[in-house]
Chains A and B, each alone.
Chain A
C-alpha cells in the first residue's frame, strides 16, 4: 500500500492525495467561507432593520467608499446580498458539505483504501481553492464584487456598464464559478466511480449506509446538471465580453441603444434553473443522508424503511430535474406550462413526506441519546417540515404569484434548504469529528451552540413569512421609502437581533472545533457505538485506512437493538449467527 511512502509537509497537508485530508481541506475552507458569508448577512441586515442609520461597524469594515458615514452604500448592499448567496449556496452547502463528507465517508464506509483516483480528487480540491481565491479577490476590486444576485440574471450581469458590480466583480464571479463547476464535476466523477467499483467484499448496494446512498445520488445529479450551468455561464461570458446577443436585446444605456438584438433573458433563466433547482437537492440530499445515519445510531434503532429511504432519494433526485419552471411562474410563462411545473413540483412532496415519516418512526420509542449531533438531526427534521410546507404554497403557480419575490420566499428557502442543510452539516461534524481528529468535541459547548442556533434561526426566518405575506419585496435596499411598510420595521429589528445572536454563536462552534482538534478528550475507536465500517478503522489516521486487510461486510448497517444479540449494536463486519437472518 502507498501508506508506507515517506510523507512531507507538502504531500501530507497541501497537495495531499488522501481522501481524509482532502475532506478536511474542504471542511475548513467551507467553514472560513461560511464565516465570511454569514458576516455579510449581518452587515446588510443592519441596513434592513435600521435603514439609513449609521453604524461604526459598517464604516470600519467597508470603509468610506462603501459605507460613507457608516451608512451602507446601495451598491454595496446589492454586492453583499449577492456574495452572501453565492458563498452560502456553493461554497458552504455544496463544496463544504459534499466535499467534506463524500470525501471522508465514501471510502471509509464502503471499505476502500481511497477514492478511485486520488489525483482527480486532489485536483477537485485545488480547483475549489482557486475558485475561492478568485471569489475573495473579487471582494476587493475597485468597482466592488458581483451585484446581480446569486442567480446573476442578465441584463444586470451581462452589460458591464449596468451597475458598478456588473464590471470586473462580475467577471471574477464567472471565472470563480467556472473553476467551482470543474471542481464539482471532478469530485462527482470520483464519488460515482468509487461507490460503483471499490466496495469491499460483501458490501452490496443494499448494504450501503444511507449516507453513501445520498452522496452517490447527489454526485449523479451534480454531474448531469452542473454542465448545463456551465453552458449557461459560457453564453453569458460571450455576451459580456465578446458582444454576442444570446441574452440581450434592445437595451438602452445612458440614452443610447446597444447593438444587441434578438437575445432573450428568459433563456438564461431556463438554463440557470435547470441546474438551480437540482442544486437545492445537491445541497439537501447529503444532509438527508447524514441525518439518517446520526438518527439511527442515536435512537439505537434501525432506520425505519431503508428501501423506502433509498427510493425517496432517487425519486427526489429525478423529480428535481423536471421542476425548474416553478422559479419562473411570473416570466410570462404559458399558464398550462405553469400547471405542469406545479404538478411536478408538488409530486416532490411525496418522497419528502416518506422521508419525514420514516424519521419520525425511527425516533418513535427509540432509546434516544441526545448528543449535539442528534439534536441537530432532530432539528433538521423540524426545519425540513416547516420549510417544506411553505414549499407547497410556492410550488403552486396560482399561490406563488401573490408572494413571488417577497420575504415569504426568502423565509421558505432559508429554512428548507439553508438551515436544514447546515443542521445536517453540523450533525455530521459533531458525529464524525472523533473519526476525523481522534478527539471529541466539547459537549456542553455543543449544546449551547445547538440551542442558540435553533432559536435564532427560527427567530430570523419564521417572521420573514409574515413580512412576505404583508407584501414586503425582497432585494430592496430600503423599506423606509414606502409608507405601507412602516409598520414592519419592528419585525425587521427582531430579525436582525436574532441574526446577530445566530452569527455570534457560530464563533462558539468554531472555537469548539479548533480547540477540540488539539485539546479535546481523546476518543475511543467507536465512541457512538455505531455499526458502520469507518469505526472499525484505527483511531490513528493512516493512508489506506486499515493497516491489514479491509474488513468484509456481513450485514446491513442498521442492526441496532437487534433481539438475541449481546449488545445493542452489531458492526457490519460481524458474521451472522447461525440461524440469524439479515435485518
Chain B
C-alpha cells in the first residue's frame, strides 16, 4: 500500500494538475472573450451588485477554510469553520443566481433574440465557474460530515487540506473572472 506521506503528496499533485487543466478551460473562455470583443458589436452593461456579495462571500469562505486547517493542525475541532465555509459557499451560489436575475431584468440575456455575445459570455463563464464550485460544495459537505464525526486529527487532515487548496483556487479564479469581465 502507498504510505500516508506519499498518498498526501500524490493526492495534492493530482489536485494541482487538475486545477491546471481547469485554469486552461477558463483561459480558453476568457481568451475567446477578448477575441470576440475585439470584433465589435459588444453590449456594455453594469455588473450586478450581487456579484460583489459573491466576491466578499467567497473570499471569507476561503479564509475560513484556511483557519480550519490551522485549527485542526493545532489539535482542535475545525467543524465550526468548515460549516461556516459551507454556508458561505451556498450563499455564493445563491448570489450568483440573484445576479443573473438582475441581469435579465436589465435586458442582458443569455440566449435567444436580443442576446449579445457580451452577455452570453458572462453567463457561460459564471455558470462554468459555479459548476466547479458545486463540485467544491459536495466535497466540503463530505469533509464537514467527517469532521463532525472526529475523523480528522492533527496528523491526518488531508481532506481539509485538499478542500482548502481547491477553495483558494476557486476564490482566486472568481476574483480573476470578476475583475476580468468588469474591466476588459
Contact = CB atoms under 8 A, between A and B. Distances in A.
Interface of A: 1-2, 116-117, 120, 185, 188-190, 192-193, 196-198, 223-228, 230-232, 234-235, 238, 242-246, 259, 261-264, 267, 270-271, 274
Contacts of B67: none
Given A230-B25, A243-B112, A261-B41, A193 B14 contact: yes
Size category of the binding interface on chain B: 35 or more
Given A120-B14, A259-B113, A246 B21 contact: no
Contact of B124 (A116, A225, A238): A238
B9 interface: yes
B10 A197 contact: yes
Nearest to B125: A231
A223 B20 CA distance: 8
Contacts of A238: 111, 120, 124
A228 B117 contact: no
Main secondary structure of the interface of A (DSSP, over half): helix
A197 B112 CA distance: 49
B141 interface: no
B28 A228 contact: yes
A267 B40 CA distance: 13
Contacts of B42: 262
A225 B42 CA distance: 28
Contacts of A226: 21
Given A1-B1, A193-B13, A197-B9, A227 B28 contact: yes
B24 A224 contact: yes
Contacts of B13: 116, 192-193, 196-197
Contacts of A192: 13, 17
A238 B115 CA distance: 12
B128 interface: yes
Nearest to A193: B13
B111 A242 contact: yes
6 contacts: A117-B10, A117-B14, A231-B25, A231-B28, A243-B115, A267-B36
Contacts of A2: 1
B180 to A, nearest CB: 14
Contacts of B117: 244-246, 262-263
Contacts of A263: 117
Contacts of A225: 24
Nearest to B41: A262
A94 to B, nearest CB: 16
Nearest to A224: B24
A224 B140 CA distance: 26
B41 to A, nearest CB: 4
Nearest to A185: B21
A193 B10 contact: yes
